[in-house]
Structure 1
Protein backbone atom coordinates (compact mmCIF):
# COMPACT_ATOMS: atom_id res chain seq x y z
CA UNK A 1 0.00 0.00 0.00
CA UNK A 2 1.15 3.49 -0.81
CA UNK A 3 -0.10 5.97 1.79
CA UNK A 4 0.49 9.69 1.59
CA UNK A 5 -0.44 11.99 4.49
CA UNK A 6 -0.61 15.76 4.13
CA UNK A 7 -1.28 18.08 7.04
CA UNK A 8 -2.46 21.55 6.08
CA UNK A 9 -3.37 22.55 9.62
CA UNK A 10 -2.07 22.01 13.12
CA UNK A 11 -3.06 18.51 14.27
CA UNK A 12 -3.44 18.46 18.08
CA UNK A 13 -4.10 14.71 18.38
CA UNK A 14 -2.21 13.05 21.22
CA UNK A 15 -1.87 9.72 19.42
CA UNK A 16 0.05 8.53 16.40
CA UNK A 17 -2.59 9.45 13.83
CA UNK A 18 -0.41 8.54 10.85
CA UNK A 19 0.02 5.02 12.19
CA UNK A 20 -3.70 4.70 12.99
CA UNK A 21 -4.68 5.98 9.52
CA UNK A 22 -2.35 3.49 7.86
CA UNK A 23 -3.72 0.67 10.02
CA UNK A 24 -7.36 1.46 9.14
CA UNK A 25 -6.66 1.93 5.42
CA UNK A 26 -4.64 -1.28 5.26
CA UNK A 27 -7.32 -3.24 7.10
CA UNK A 28 -10.07 -1.89 4.83
CA UNK A 29 -8.08 -3.01 1.79
CA UNK A 30 -7.67 -6.49 3.28
CA UNK A 31 -11.30 -6.68 4.39
CA UNK A 32 -12.63 -5.78 0.94
CA UNK A 33 -10.02 -8.11 -0.62
CA UNK A 34 -8.66 -5.39 -2.87
CA UNK A 35 -6.71 -7.35 -5.51
CA UNK A 36 -3.94 -4.83 -6.29
CA UNK A 37 -1.41 -2.57 -4.65
CA UNK A 38 -3.34 0.57 -3.69
CA UNK A 39 -2.51 4.24 -3.31
CA UNK A 40 -4.53 6.39 -0.90
CA UNK A 41 -3.95 10.05 -0.07
CA UNK A 42 -5.13 11.54 3.22
CA UNK A 43 -5.25 15.28 3.87
CA UNK A 44 -5.91 16.67 7.34
CA UNK A 45 -7.33 20.16 7.37
CA UNK A 46 -9.54 22.49 9.39
CA UNK A 47 -13.19 23.54 9.10
CA UNK A 48 -12.38 26.64 7.08
CA UNK A 49 -10.51 24.74 4.37
CA UNK A 50 -12.90 21.78 4.17
CA UNK A 51 -15.77 24.28 3.91
CA UNK A 52 -14.12 25.74 0.79
CA UNK A 53 -13.55 22.28 -0.70
CA UNK A 54 -17.12 21.21 0.10
CA UNK A 55 -18.52 24.33 -1.59
CA UNK A 56 -16.26 23.98 -4.63
CA UNK A 57 -16.81 20.26 -5.25
CA UNK A 58 -20.29 19.59 -3.88
CA UNK A 59 -21.95 23.02 -3.85
CA UNK A 60 -22.58 22.68 -0.10
CA UNK A 61 -21.85 25.89 1.78
CA UNK A 62 -20.70 24.51 5.15
CA UNK A 63 -17.85 22.53 6.64
CA UNK A 64 -18.18 18.75 6.76
CA UNK A 65 -16.25 16.04 8.60
CA UNK A 66 -14.86 14.06 5.67
CA UNK A 67 -14.77 14.24 1.90
CA UNK A 68 -13.96 11.32 -0.37
CA UNK A 69 -12.70 11.65 -3.91
CA UNK A 70 -12.74 8.18 -5.50
CA UNK A 71 -10.68 7.60 -8.62
CA UNK A 72 -12.56 4.43 -9.60
CA UNK A 73 -16.12 4.02 -10.78
CA UNK A 74 -17.60 0.73 -9.57
CA UNK A 75 -20.93 -0.51 -10.87
CA UNK A 76 -21.12 -2.71 -7.77
CA UNK A 77 -19.55 -1.53 -4.49
CA UNK A 78 -16.46 -3.53 -3.61
CA UNK A 79 -16.30 -5.23 -7.01
CA UNK A 80 -13.00 -4.64 -8.78
CA UNK A 81 -13.31 -7.35 -11.42
CA UNK A 82 -13.48 -4.74 -14.20
CA UNK A 83 -10.04 -3.34 -13.29
CA UNK A 84 -7.38 -4.16 -15.85
CA UNK A 85 -3.67 -3.63 -15.26
CA UNK A 86 -3.49 -2.13 -18.72
CA UNK A 87 -6.08 0.49 -17.75
CA UNK A 88 -4.05 3.69 -17.88
CA UNK A 89 -6.58 5.69 -15.84
CA UNK A 90 -6.53 3.49 -12.76
CA UNK A 91 -2.90 2.38 -12.46
CA UNK A 92 0.00 4.68 -11.69
CA UNK A 93 2.71 4.28 -14.33
CA UNK A 94 5.58 4.52 -11.84
CA UNK A 95 4.29 2.34 -8.99
CA UNK A 96 1.73 0.14 -10.80
CA UNK A 97 -0.57 0.82 -7.84
CA UNK A 98 -4.25 1.53 -8.28
CA UNK A 99 -4.94 5.12 -7.33
CA UNK A 100 -8.02 4.64 -5.16
CA UNK A 101 -8.50 8.29 -4.36
CA UNK A 102 -8.23 11.05 -1.81
CA UNK A 103 -9.63 11.47 1.67
CA UNK A 104 -9.92 14.93 3.28
CA UNK A 105 -10.72 15.10 7.01
CA UNK A 106 -11.47 18.14 9.14
CA UNK A 107 -9.47 17.86 12.35
CA UNK A 108 -11.90 20.37 13.92
CA UNK A 109 -14.84 18.06 13.14
CA UNK A 110 -13.00 15.02 14.52
CA UNK A 111 -12.60 16.84 17.85
CA UNK A 112 -16.19 18.20 17.84
CA UNK A 113 -17.82 14.90 16.91
CA UNK A 114 -15.80 12.79 19.33
CA UNK A 115 -17.08 15.00 22.14
CA UNK A 116 -20.63 15.13 20.71
CA UNK A 117 -20.88 11.34 20.29
CA UNK A 118 -19.10 10.59 23.57
CA UNK A 119 -16.26 8.49 22.26
CA UNK A 120 -12.52 8.90 21.81
CA UNK A 121 -10.85 11.13 19.26
CA UNK A 122 -9.03 8.04 17.97
CA UNK A 123 -12.34 6.26 17.37
CA UNK A 124 -13.82 9.23 15.48
CA UNK A 125 -10.71 9.63 13.35
CA UNK A 126 -10.61 5.90 12.52
CA UNK A 127 -14.34 5.85 11.76
CA UNK A 128 -14.08 8.74 9.29
CA UNK A 129 -11.24 6.98 7.48
CA UNK A 130 -13.24 3.73 7.37
CA UNK A 131 -16.29 5.61 6.07
CA UNK A 132 -14.24 7.31 3.39
CA UNK A 133 -12.49 4.10 2.33
CA UNK A 134 -15.90 2.54 1.70
CA UNK A 135 -16.71 5.50 -0.56
CA UNK A 136 -13.43 4.89 -2.40
CA UNK A 137 -14.59 1.28 -2.87
CA UNK A 138 -17.85 2.49 -4.42
CA UNK A 139 -20.22 2.37 -1.44
CA UNK A 140 -22.66 5.21 -0.86
CA UNK A 141 -25.48 6.19 1.49
CA UNK A 142 -27.85 8.22 -0.68
CA UNK A 143 -30.59 5.54 -0.76
CA UNK A 144 -31.86 3.59 2.26
CA UNK A 145 -30.60 0.21 1.04
CA UNK A 146 -27.18 1.69 0.20
CA UNK A 147 -26.99 3.39 3.60
CA UNK A 148 -27.90 0.16 5.41
CA UNK A 149 -25.20 -1.79 3.54
CA UNK A 150 -22.56 0.88 4.12
CA UNK A 151 -23.40 1.18 7.83
CA UNK A 152 -23.17 -2.61 8.17
CA UNK A 153 -19.75 -2.65 6.51
CA UNK A 154 -18.55 0.23 8.74
CA UNK A 155 -19.71 -1.54 11.89
CA UNK A 156 -18.05 -4.83 10.91
CA UNK A 157 -14.74 -3.14 10.04
CA UNK A 158 -14.65 -1.09 13.23
CA UNK A 159 -15.47 -4.17 15.31
CA UNK A 160 -12.79 -6.25 13.60
CA UNK A 161 -10.30 -3.44 14.25
CA UNK A 162 -11.50 -3.44 17.87
CA UNK A 163 -12.07 0.32 17.69
CA UNK A 164 -15.30 0.64 19.60
CA UNK A 165 -17.45 3.46 20.94
Structure 2
Protein backbone atom coordinates (compact mmCIF):
# COMPACT_ATOMS: atom_id res chain seq x y z
CA UNK A 1 0.00 0.00 0.00
CA UNK A 2 1.07 3.56 -0.52
CA UNK A 3 1.18 6.28 2.12
CA UNK A 4 1.75 9.95 1.33
CA UNK A 5 3.11 12.25 4.01
CA UNK A 6 2.33 15.85 3.01
CA UNK A 7 3.43 19.22 4.31
CA UNK A 8 2.77 22.66 2.86
CA UNK A 9 3.45 26.30 3.49
CA UNK A 10 0.55 28.77 3.89
CA UNK A 11 1.05 30.31 0.42
CA UNK A 12 -0.58 27.25 -1.14
CA UNK A 13 -4.35 27.79 -1.47
CA UNK A 14 -6.83 25.86 0.66
CA UNK A 15 -7.41 22.39 -0.78
CA UNK A 16 -7.30 18.81 0.37
CA UNK A 17 -3.69 18.47 -0.73
CA UNK A 18 -3.14 15.22 1.16
CA UNK A 19 -5.98 13.48 -0.66
CA UNK A 20 -4.90 14.97 -4.00
CA UNK A 21 -1.29 13.82 -3.51
CA UNK A 22 -2.32 10.34 -2.35
CA UNK A 23 -4.63 9.90 -5.33
CA UNK A 24 -1.95 11.08 -7.79
CA UNK A 25 0.79 8.93 -6.24
CA UNK A 26 -1.37 5.81 -6.16
CA UNK A 27 -2.50 6.27 -9.77
CA UNK A 28 1.11 6.75 -10.89
CA UNK A 29 2.34 3.67 -9.02
CA UNK A 30 -0.52 1.52 -10.32
CA UNK A 31 0.29 2.27 -13.97
CA UNK A 32 3.91 1.18 -13.85
CA UNK A 33 5.50 -2.26 -13.61
CA UNK A 34 5.59 -1.63 -9.84
CA UNK A 35 1.80 -1.46 -9.71
CA UNK A 36 1.38 -4.52 -7.52
CA UNK A 37 3.12 -2.65 -4.70
CA UNK A 38 0.01 -0.47 -4.47
CA UNK A 39 -1.93 -3.41 -3.05
CA UNK A 40 0.87 -5.24 -1.26
CA UNK A 41 1.26 -5.28 2.50
CA UNK A 42 4.53 -3.37 2.20
CA UNK A 43 4.14 0.29 3.13
CA UNK A 44 5.46 2.41 0.26
CA UNK A 45 5.91 5.95 1.58
CA UNK A 46 6.21 9.14 -0.44
CA UNK A 47 6.84 12.54 1.12
CA UNK A 48 5.34 15.55 -0.68
CA UNK A 49 6.25 19.12 0.27
CA UNK A 50 4.32 22.04 -1.20
CA UNK A 51 6.53 25.03 -0.61
CA UNK A 52 7.79 28.36 -1.86
CA UNK A 53 9.78 29.11 -4.98
CA UNK A 54 12.65 30.26 -2.76
CA UNK A 55 12.89 26.94 -0.92
CA UNK A 56 12.82 25.04 -4.22
CA UNK A 57 15.44 27.42 -5.66
CA UNK A 58 17.71 26.67 -2.70
CA UNK A 59 17.21 22.90 -3.03
CA UNK A 60 17.76 23.06 -6.79
CA UNK A 61 20.99 24.99 -6.27
CA UNK A 62 22.22 22.69 -3.52
CA UNK A 63 21.41 19.34 -5.16
CA UNK A 64 21.40 20.06 -8.88
CA UNK A 65 23.70 23.07 -9.19
CA UNK A 66 20.90 25.15 -10.77
CA UNK A 67 20.24 28.42 -8.94
CA UNK A 68 16.62 28.87 -9.97
CA UNK A 69 13.19 27.70 -8.91
CA UNK A 70 11.68 24.85 -10.87
CA UNK A 71 8.19 23.39 -10.73
CA UNK A 72 9.03 20.03 -9.11
CA UNK A 73 12.04 18.29 -7.62
CA UNK A 74 12.22 14.57 -6.84
CA UNK A 75 14.64 12.92 -4.45
CA UNK A 76 14.56 9.10 -4.77
CA UNK A 77 15.50 7.16 -1.66
CA UNK A 78 15.76 3.73 -3.28
CA UNK A 79 17.49 2.55 -6.42
CA UNK A 80 15.02 1.40 -9.11
CA UNK A 81 16.71 -2.01 -9.42
CA UNK A 82 16.17 -2.61 -5.69
CA UNK A 83 12.54 -1.60 -6.05
CA UNK A 84 12.30 -4.10 -8.93
CA UNK A 85 13.52 -6.76 -6.50
CA UNK A 86 10.68 -6.04 -4.08
CA UNK A 87 8.12 -5.92 -6.89
CA UNK A 88 9.24 -9.20 -8.47
CA UNK A 89 9.97 -11.23 -5.35
CA UNK A 90 7.60 -11.05 -2.43
CA UNK A 91 10.26 -12.54 -0.12
CA UNK A 92 13.03 -10.10 -1.10
CA UNK A 93 13.88 -7.51 1.55
CA UNK A 94 14.78 -3.94 0.70
CA UNK A 95 15.13 -1.38 3.47
CA UNK A 96 13.19 -3.64 5.80
CA UNK A 97 10.35 -4.27 3.34
CA UNK A 98 9.14 -6.98 1.03
CA UNK A 99 5.98 -7.13 -1.03
CA UNK A 100 4.41 -8.96 1.91
CA UNK A 101 5.27 -6.39 4.58
CA UNK A 102 7.63 -3.76 5.94
CA UNK A 103 8.25 -0.20 4.81
CA UNK A 104 10.03 1.42 1.87
CA UNK A 105 10.59 5.17 1.74
CA UNK A 106 10.30 5.77 -1.99
CA UNK A 107 11.44 9.38 -1.75
CA UNK A 108 10.57 13.06 -1.54
CA UNK A 109 8.76 15.33 -4.00
CA UNK A 110 8.90 19.12 -3.63
CA UNK A 111 6.68 21.55 -5.56
CA UNK A 112 7.19 25.33 -5.86
CA UNK A 113 3.95 27.27 -5.43
CA UNK A 114 4.71 30.30 -7.60
CA UNK A 115 6.08 28.26 -10.50
CA UNK A 116 3.21 25.78 -10.28
CA UNK A 117 0.56 28.51 -10.14
CA UNK A 118 2.13 30.46 -13.03
CA UNK A 119 2.36 27.36 -15.23
CA UNK A 120 -1.25 26.46 -14.40
CA UNK A 121 -2.39 29.96 -15.36
CA UNK A 122 -0.43 29.79 -18.64
CA UNK A 123 -2.21 26.52 -19.46
CA UNK A 124 -5.62 27.79 -18.37
CA UNK A 125 -6.01 25.09 -15.72
CA UNK A 126 -6.32 25.12 -11.94
CA UNK A 127 -3.37 24.90 -9.59
CA UNK A 128 -4.74 21.62 -8.20
CA UNK A 129 -4.82 20.05 -11.67
CA UNK A 130 -1.27 21.13 -12.43
CA UNK A 131 -0.03 20.03 -9.00
CA UNK A 132 -1.59 16.61 -9.66
CA UNK A 133 0.42 16.35 -12.87
CA UNK A 134 3.62 17.42 -11.12
CA UNK A 135 3.11 14.87 -8.32
CA UNK A 136 2.55 12.12 -10.90
CA UNK A 137 5.70 13.30 -12.69
CA UNK A 138 7.61 13.29 -9.40
CA UNK A 139 6.46 9.79 -8.45
CA UNK A 140 7.63 8.49 -11.82
CA UNK A 141 11.05 10.02 -11.15
CA UNK A 142 11.09 8.27 -7.76
CA UNK A 143 10.41 5.01 -9.60
CA UNK A 144 13.40 5.56 -11.89
CA UNK A 145 11.80 7.15 -14.93
CA UNK A 146 13.55 10.08 -16.57
CA UNK A 147 13.41 12.28 -19.66
CA UNK A 148 17.07 12.81 -20.53
CA UNK A 149 16.60 11.71 -24.14
CA UNK A 150 13.66 11.59 -26.56
CA UNK A 151 12.87 7.90 -26.02
CA UNK A 152 12.84 8.26 -22.21
CA UNK A 153 10.76 11.43 -22.47
CA UNK A 154 8.18 9.77 -24.74
CA UNK A 155 7.88 6.74 -22.45
CA UNK A 156 7.51 8.90 -19.33
CA UNK A 157 5.01 11.25 -21.01
CA UNK A 158 2.92 8.26 -22.17
CA UNK A 159 2.65 6.99 -18.59
CA UNK A 160 1.84 10.49 -17.29
CA UNK A 161 -0.87 10.91 -19.93
CA UNK A 162 -2.38 7.52 -19.03
CA UNK A 163 -2.29 8.29 -15.30
CA UNK A 164 -3.85 11.72 -15.74
CA UNK A 165 -6.55 10.31 -18.03
CA UNK A 166 -7.39 7.77 -15.30
CA UNK A 167 -7.82 10.73 -12.93
CA UNK A 168 -10.11 12.54 -15.38
CA UNK A 169 -7.49 15.12 -16.39
CA UNK A 170 -6.42 16.25 -19.85
CA UNK A 171 -3.12 15.37 -21.51
CA UNK A 172 -0.78 18.16 -20.34
CA UNK A 173 1.49 17.71 -23.35
CA UNK A 174 -1.31 18.39 -25.82
CA UNK A 175 -2.21 21.54 -23.89
CA UNK A 176 1.40 22.74 -24.06
CA UNK A 177 1.68 22.02 -27.81
CA UNK A 178 -1.54 23.94 -28.59
CA UNK A 179 -0.31 27.15 -26.93
Partner of 2:18: 18
Larger RCO, structure (CA 8 Å, separation 6 or more): 1
Which residue does the alignment assign to 2:57?
Answer: 51
- In structure 2, runs of 5+ residues without a counterpart are 173-179
CA displacement 1:1-48 (0-9 Å, x = unmatched): 2221122x2144243222111111122222221424310001111011
Q: TM-score, with normalisation over the residues of structure 2?
A: 0.80
Match of 1:135 in 2: 141
Q: Residue 82 of structure 1 aligns with which residue?
A: 85
Q: Does 1:153 align with 2:159?
A: yes
**TM-score when normalising by structure 1:** 0.86
Shift of 1:91: 3.9
Q: Which residue of 1 aligns with 2:109?
A: 103
**Structure 2 match to 1:121:** 127
Shift of 1:80: 3.8
* Number of residue pairs matched by the alignment: 158
Output the CA distance in 2 between the equivalents of 1:135 and 1:64.
15
Measure how far apart 1:85 and its partner are. Answer: 4.0
